[in-house]
Chain A
Amino acid sequence: MSNFAMLFSGFSVVFSFQNVAVCLLGAVLGLIVGAMPGIGSLAGVALLLPLTYKFNPTTAIILLGSLYYSNMYGGSFSAILLNIPGDSPAVMTMLDGYPMAKQKGRPGQALFTSNFASFIGGTIGMIILTFLGPGLANVGLHFGPQDMTALLLVAMTSIGWLVGKNPTQGVILTMLGILLACIGMDPQTGAPRYNFGNMYLMGGIPFVPFVIGTVGFSQVLRLMSERKNTVSEEKIVNQKLTIRGSMLTGHDIRRLLPPAIRSGVLGTFVGVLPGAGATTGAFLGYAMNKAFKSEEPFGTGAIEGIASCEAANNAAAAGAFAPLLALGIPGSGTGAVLLGGLMMWGLNPGPLLFTNNPDFAWGLIASLFLANLLTLMISIGVIPFLIIILTVPIKVIIPVVLVICMVGSYANTYSMYGVVIMFVSGLVSYICEKSGYSTSPMLLSFVLAPLLENNMRKAFITSQGSVGIFFTSPISCVFMVILFVIMLSPVIRGVIKVGKKRLRPNK
């Protein structure tokens, strides 16, 4: 069956009353969480993960997918109206969004541009995903355990390398995530390991409390120091917002379309790369469109500026689903939470997903299309109420998130053990983040560790313990070279720095 036929079969799965209702719920919650200052998509998805317990796997994943997707829309609202980015990709939106809202007195049009460009970028990303996903899965079917091991190692280390400022720190937390995932049972023999005689640890570290602590609770600890920073009245766009007054003119739409389409295509391919994600997509989309002709210069409130980064970041969010579904490799921390959510439901994303669970894979892709459309409608509908949502004080958000962290962790394990895991992982993550260690690589490696172990052991059984197996197939050979370059880059950079210093004559 062609990809489009499969996509239509996916729509038949999605269009049940329950799934559409859940998609709508996810879109509303994701939009609110994404718009609220300080929470962001990663913590938002993690905190709302417990809400999926009630549903069947397909519905649960549709909820998660729409949550993740609508989160991407919400980040730009505060960037446009308050000059505060709701999430990191919205930093680029702020450059033109706030001047258009404040100086040009067109806040409604800036919001409309952002929403519409996000929709276009997302749709382009999803159309490419419809073709790219199964194609990538077909390539993945030819991967042996040694190829998969090498690919997973590259994915894990490259994220550590790209996300944080210091690649060494990224690799340390990647390894720590793997070691933590080893606690519990040996996936192949079922023998208990590294549980230190503790009954609870025998079942391993539960994923949901671990994620809630790492991103939710640690975020609360960070927010505590920001809670007294209220948004100054001068910064708020005080103009009354109405849907009718926010509509774009035909001329505005003609200005918006070309950069949105260009960024949509670019953003999708950026999203496919591990570690690159929506922020890089938004940055590259903005930089690329700056080279094209625009009616107003970028950075002065140009519609083209808002459209280029918003389309790129939403397209990247859609593009990131291609390696996630087809190879089981998430491109970001949020992707890792989604993957963990899929695994929680017994689904193993990877090359066989499109063959073994077509209903699920195509249902999820179809739900992204639906979530994109629903989020566009809701994001336009909430325009008159945005200032109220955006100015909820952080000091009120903090205790609410704390309670959700505690209740969500308890609900996952039905014991205070979950709360303890959440508390400890939150504290450790906060200390690590403060010391410059990014925790996203740890989350990613925690989720991918069982897959890596499984493939690595299979590869070594086949080769009877020889490391040479990773250099026998061209695929694994290429990945291993990339891995060595990534791992050795801090050392090489250090050596070059020292060499340059020595060569430079003393002043």
Chain B
Amino acid sequence: MEEKKTEKKGFFTILSDHLPQIIPVCTSVISVIWIVLSFRKYGFWDEYKGPKTGFFPTIIAIVMLAISIFALITSGKVKKPEFDKESWMAAIGLLTMVVLTYAIGMELSILAFMLIWLRMYEKCTWRTTLVTTSIVMALVIGAFRFWLQINFPLGLLGLLIG
């Protein structure tokens, strides 16, 4: 007897394999939430005043629910998407910048991110790293801070320094 080879799939692989089904399921759930909220909380139609707050979203949600069900039924024919693991590094990089913002402020977190990303992750030369970081910092400080007068968060460090 031929032994069946069972390939172990990770959680994210299973998730991406079923994405053609997951997306219409998610949009169906959103539709249902919108419909329920409309009828329970916001109202649909007033006999004297006409459409109520939930009127328009309900119509759209019903259409979306119908099409999502149709998409779910026909999802077997849709090509499974392929994700590149490296793509998520950009999301992790952005999240790190957000977290660092709470600690050392937005400007310093951008500076740290640019240096670490270009020099350590992309292995760029010091020249490329410093020139690119300088241009970005000039844009952030010059255009956003001074010209548009955006006060960036200073984080815990800013609070400590006062």
Interface residues of A (CB under 8 A from B): 50-51, 53-54, 166, 168-169, 171-172, 175-176, 178-179, 182, 186, 189, 191, 193-194, 217, 220-222, 224-225, 227, 395-396, 398-400, 402-407, 410-411, 414, 416, 419, 423, 426-427, 430-432, 434-437, 452-453, 456-457, 460-461, 464-465, 490-491, 494
Contacts and interface: CB of A to CB of B under 8 A. Distances in A.
A464 B153 CA distance: 52
Nearest to B80: A435
Interface string B26-48: 01001100100100011001000
A494 B153 CA distance: 54
Contact of A191 (B53, B95, B98): B53
A407 B110 contact: yes
B158 interface: no
Contacts of A465: 45, 50
B126 interface: no
Contact of A407 (B61, B84, B135, B144): B144
Contact of B86 (A179, A224, A435): A224
Contacts of A432: 23
A179 B87 contact: no
A166 B20 CA distance: 12
A202 to B, nearest CB: 14
Q: Which 5 A-B pairs have the closest CB atoms?
A: A175-B64, A225-B84, A434-B81, A461-B50, A224-B87
A435 B19 contact: yes
B130 interface: no
A227 B143 CA distance: 27
Contact of B51 (A217, A402, A435, A457): A457
Nearest to A182: B57
Nearest to B110: A403
Contact of B128 (A51, A176, A396): A396
Interface string B64-107: 10011011001000110111101111110111011001000010
Interface of B: 19-20, 23-24, 27, 30-31, 34, 37, 41-42, 45, 50-51, 53-57, 59-61, 63-64, 67-68, 70-71, 74, 78-79, 81-84, 86-91, 93-95, 97-98, 101, 106, 110, 113-114, 117-118, 122, 124, 128, 132, 135-136, 139-140, 143-144, 147-148, 150-153
A504 to B, nearest CB: 18
Contacts of B143: 51
Contact of A179 (B60, B98, B135, B144): B60
A395 to B, nearest CB: 5
A182 B56 contact: yes
Contacts of A430: 87
A426 B90 CA distance: 11
A400 B153 CA distance: 20
Contacts of A419: 98
A116 B109 CA distance: 44
B94 A406 contact: yes
Contacts, number: 176
A461 B48 CA distance: 9
Contacts of B124: 395-396
B145 to A, nearest CB: 9
Given A172-B71, A217-B94, A193 B53 contact: yes
B102 to A, nearest CB: 8
Contacts of B148: 50-51, 53-54, 411
8 contacts: A175-B27, A191-B53, A193-B53, A217-B94, A224-B86, A400-B136, A407-B152, A416-B101
A396 B118 contact: yes
Given A168-B74, A172-B24, A224-B89, A403 B136 contact: yes
Query: Looking at A54, A225, A435, which has the most chain B CB atoms within 10 Å of its CB?
Result: A435
Nearest to B98: A419
Nearest to B30: A179
A402 B90 contact: yes
A168 B150 contact: no
B113 A221 contact: no
B136 A220 contact: no
Contacts of B53: 186, 189, 191, 193
Contacts of A426: 91
Contacts of B30: 176, 179
A171 B31 CA distance: 14
Contacts of A402: 90, 93-94, 97, 113
